[in-house]
Chains A and B, each alone.
Chain A
Amino acid sequence: MARVLINLPRTARRGEVIEIRTLIQHVMETGYRPRADGSVAPRDIITHFACLYNNEEVFAAELAPAIAANPFLSFSLVAAESGILAFTWTGDNGFEQTETRSLTVT
């Protein structure tokens, strides 16, 4: 399991726009970099990120090799109701990781 950092407020007022920052540990090997023996390291990147808010997608992103290692993504959403935020990263070589955080809306 890759290490993940997710930064979001625990509580928010109804209708408030909150900012979410996510970072996941990943090499994001581009597929263009030569190794010491001259061969090219095969591509190994995270290709897709999605954020589900009570099982409804609020933000998703397709990533290319041009995204830096340990991909950082920051976005926002409207705090509509208390619930669960699920963050899923999927990528090459069957990489898939999901993290959940709860959000209390007052």
Chain B
Amino acid sequence: MSSPSLSRSGIERRALGAGLLAVVLARPARADRPGLREAVLGFTGGAEPAEAGVTLDIPPLVENGNTVPVTIAVESPMTDAEHVLRIALFNERNPQPHVVTARLGPRAGRARLSTRMRLATSQRLVAVAEMSDGSFRAANADVIVTLAACVEG
């Protein structure tokens, strides 16, 4: 009486195992994208950004990765002599490392940018700012995502 249900649960277990294996095997398909560090160095032209003067504001725990508010602010007087030229945001584990690159200048008044982004999974984000004196500054943030973007059909 009990043997058919036992064998069925065994089949279900095997199917579940095969499914998990398929997921594990399918994951490295996007490993060919450039890493976070390569993306940042590509933006800075090889210069190492200083970890100061940039605020990257994003919720540390995200319920829905489809739309996540993010704000980047850079400390700068935004005068003709000293201002921010570009602000870029990069991610670690989305299919592509680039999120947004903004071009601004002294007419912006404030070096501040807000947008909404997608997060494929829990990961680290890096915001990099290019200053008018040619230096680069950066800030990073770690985010935990419970419902990922880019998965639903």
Q: In the complex, what residues of B have CB within 8 A of residue A53's CB?
A: 107
CB pair B67–A68 under 8 Å, yes or no, is: yes
CA distance A73 to B91 in the complex (A): 18
Q: In the complex, what residues of A have CB within 8 A of residue B105's CB?
A: 58
CA distance A61 to B115 in the complex (A): 11
Minimum C-beta distance from A37 to chain B (A): 10
CA distance A72 to B141 in the complex (A): 21
A58-82: contact bitstring with B at CB < 8 Å (1 yes, 0 no)?
1111111111110111111110100
Q: Is B20 an interface residue (CB 8 A)?
A: no
CA distance A34 to B116 in the complex (A): 22
CA distance A68 to B118 in the complex (A): 5
CA distance A83 to B117 in the complex (A): 32
| Chain A residue total in the interface (Cβ 8 A) | 33
Q: In the complex, what residues of B have CB within 8 A of residue A65's CB?
A: 95-96, 118
Minimum C-beta distance from A57 to chain B (A): 8
Q: Is A17 an interface residue (CB 8 A)?
A: yes
Which listed residue (A21, A58, A67, A71) contacts B104, Cβ 8 A?
A: A58
CB pair A73–B113 under 8 Å, yes or no, is: yes
Minimum C-beta distance from A32 to chain B (A): 5
CB pair B99–A67 under 8 Å, yes or no, is: yes
CB pair B113–A62 under 8 Å, yes or no, is: no
**With A32-B150, A36-B153 in contact, do A66 and B107 touch (Cβ < 8 Å)?**
no
Which of B98, B109, B112, B152: most chain A CB closer than 10 A? Answer: B109
Which listed residue (B66, B68, B102) contacts A75, Cβ 8 A?
A: B102
Q: Is A10 an interface residue (CB 8 A)?
A: no
Which of A21, A34, A35: most chain B CB closer than 10 A? Answer: A34
Minimum C-beta distance from A17 to chain B (A): 4
Q: Is B100 an interface residue (CB 8 A)?
A: yes
**Chain B contacts to A: CB under 8 angstroms:** 66-68, 71, 91, 94-96, 98-110, 112-118, 149-150, 152-153
**Chain A contacts to B: CB under 8 angstroms:** 17-18, 21, 30, 32-36, 53, 56-69, 71-78, 80
